[in-house]
Amino acid sequence: MAYPAKRVAEYAVVVWAAERLRRGLDASASLLCDPSAEGPLLGFPQIVGVRLVRVCEELGLLHRKDERIVGLTPEGERVAEGGEPRVFIPQLGAWAFFWAEDPLLLQPLLRVEPWKEPTAHAEAEERRRRWKSREQETQRPIKQTPRALLELCDAQGMRAPLELPATQDGRPIRLVSLDKNAEIVEAEGELAVEIAFLPGATEGSLRLRGSVAGKNVDQRMPALAGWDHARVFWELLRHNQIADLWNAQTGKLRIPFRSLQREEARKTFRLRLPFKGPEISGLGRFEDMSVEGIPIEPASQEDAQRWFEWLLVDRAAETQWPELYTRNTTELGALFPGFTLRAPAQGDLAHSIRGTERPRPAFWHLQATIDLDGGIQ
């Protein structure tokens, strides 16, 4: 792993070499201390210049032949043009990686921190705890380091450093080399990618939420192109094996009346539909979710008639005078475009809900005006 550090001497050597090479002049290490070459190490013995050139080579900043600088590496060019004495210094040690991939992300998530091994005291306490609980000591599982991580390694500084705001002090880093195998440790956090599609939207909005290393994360991500609300909703219906119930002409889901258990759905013609672990090709698998406010319509003529009559009964919250009953049948019938409905006679509707037990209030509201006209029908 390499972190940036302030290295004035190495920076001065690289800037001087870049200018000499640009002008086609000799960039030998000995000239770093030569006033005639405007060397940055005036007053120092030549051996200091030779040593610094070798250090710069070890840091992947330049190429040399014998003691002469013959070119800068891509990283050396970046240092020379950076305007500040920032040089990446490799650090050998153990590192903790938080690595997550998801089809919704344009690139994987990566967090790198120095790994802190537990102290001897902490290890002794852990062994004592295991002994008391008769818990067997387990070894951390070893797995291959993700190939994508290994491909990020750049020992020669051929690519720009990784800009990882979540790393130490928000500084960029460079992966120099990694072992091919890594120990799996307990995750230090959990992140979830949330995707939302609004009706009519041509792309989905992404948000990253969760926590890592005790820090809360709530960040908007680049929009997901190529997917819209209609396409994703269709995939969800396919997952629940009800895509054949979708009426593309009306934009509504055909629902049998008997399956509508919630009165709210019967009244609003809107349904809350759950999806258990939906998987969408190209986007991956999601946690259990639900979609609110799905527009619905009767699945058949019979369902429409039953639904219509149920709504008439639901409207009977007060005495149903003939004018009011007629108005209700007209208003409720308009909620079923494309269906031919038969408005039941008020007495027939009352009789259908009377039952053998104590009649419901709706029965009396429907029957009251009929009784005034001569008795129960």
CA 240, CA 278: separation in Å to the nearest integer? 8
pLDDT tops 50 at residue 178: yes
Average pLDDT, the chain: 85
Helices H / strands E in the chain, number of each: 11, 17
DSSP class of residue 159 equals S
Instruction: Measure the CA–CA gap between 370 and 377, rounded to whole angstroms.
Output: 7
Report strand pairing: 289-298 vs 270-275: antiparallel
Which residues make beta-bridge pairs with 253? 246, 296
305 neighbors 348 (Cβ within 8 angstroms): no
Spell out the domain ranges in the chain: 2-90, 95-186, 192-224, 229-299, 306-372
Check residue 143 and give its pLDDT: 83
pLDDT band (50, 70, 90) for residue 377: very low
Question: HSE-up of 187 (CA within 13 Å, CB side)?
Answer: 10
Work out whether the CA dihedral 280, 285, 291, 296 comes out positive or negative.
positive
- pLDDT tens across 249-265, in order? 999 999 999 999 999 99
> CA nearest 68: which of 86, 78, 56?
56
Closest CA relative to residue 178, chosen from 90, 109, 101: 90
Supply the pLDDT for residue 138: 63
Please state which of the ranges 97-111, 206-220, 282-296, 342-356 shows the lowest mean pLDDT.
Answer: 97-111
| pLDDT winner (highest mean) among 155-159, 223-227, 310-314, 353-357 | 310-314
Residue 300 in tokens: 């058949």
Among 354, 371, 229, residue whose Cα is nearest residue 293: 229
Average pLDDT on 168-191 reads 76
pLDDT at 163 over 70: no
* 306-to-83, 148, 312, 345, 353 alpha-carbon distances in Å: 78, 59, 10, 14, 13
- Amino acid 376: pLDDT: 46
CB 322 within 8 A of CB 313: no
pLDDT at 166 over 90: no
What residues does 285 pair with on adjacent strands?
Answer: 279
Q: Which of 185-189, 193-197, 295-299 has the lowest mean pLDDT?
A: 185-189
309 CB-near residues (< 8 Å, 6+ apart): 344, 349, 352
Q: Across the strands, what pairs with 210? A: 191, 217
Where residue 95 falls among pLDDT bands split at 50, 70, 90?
Answer: confident
Structure tokens at 156: 């020669």
For the domain bounded by 2-90, which CATH number is listed?
1.10.10.10
Handedness of CA 234, 238, 242, 244 (dihedral sign): positive
